[in-house]
Amino acid sequence: MDRPAPLTVSEVSAELHCSEDEVRALIRAGELRTVACGIRPGLVPRHEFDDYLRRLRYRLGDASRSSPTP
């Protein structure tokens, strides 16, 4: 079974609805891992992106559960 092609910074920013600079900040912070593909070191494998989305949803779910309801 073939893995989906890695995503560019531009594709990740489109999926997250944020700027490319914000995606690069996530990469620098270690939230998103990249792979080197020839001279293009900024490609994010789809499984790494999916892992990030799962972590993000979990954090957002924790935040909503821990906030008090009036």
Q: How far apart are CA 4 and CA 46, in angstroms?
A: 6
Q: Kind and range of the H or E element at 8?
A: none
Average pLDDT of the residues in 24-48: 86
CA distance 26 to 8: 13
Helix 9-16 vs helix 20-28: crossing angle, to nearest 10: 110
**Position 29 in a domain:** yes
pLDDT greater at residue 51 or residue 2: 51
Domain membership of residue 28 as a residue range? 9-66
- Residue 24 belongs to a domain: yes
Q: Is residue 17 part of a domain?
A: yes
- Number of domains within the chain: 1
In a domain, 4, yes or no: no
Give 61's pLDDT tier (boundaries 50, 70, 90): confident
Terminal Cα distance for the chain, rounded? 50
Q: What is the mean pLDDT of residues 40-57?
A: 90
Q: What average pLDDT does range 4-24 have in this prediction?
A: 94
Supply the mean pLDDT for the chain: 86
Band of pLDDT at residue 9, cut at 50, 70 and 90: very high
Indicate whether 37 belongs to any domain: yes
**C-alpha–C-alpha distance, residues 37 and 39, integer Å:** 6
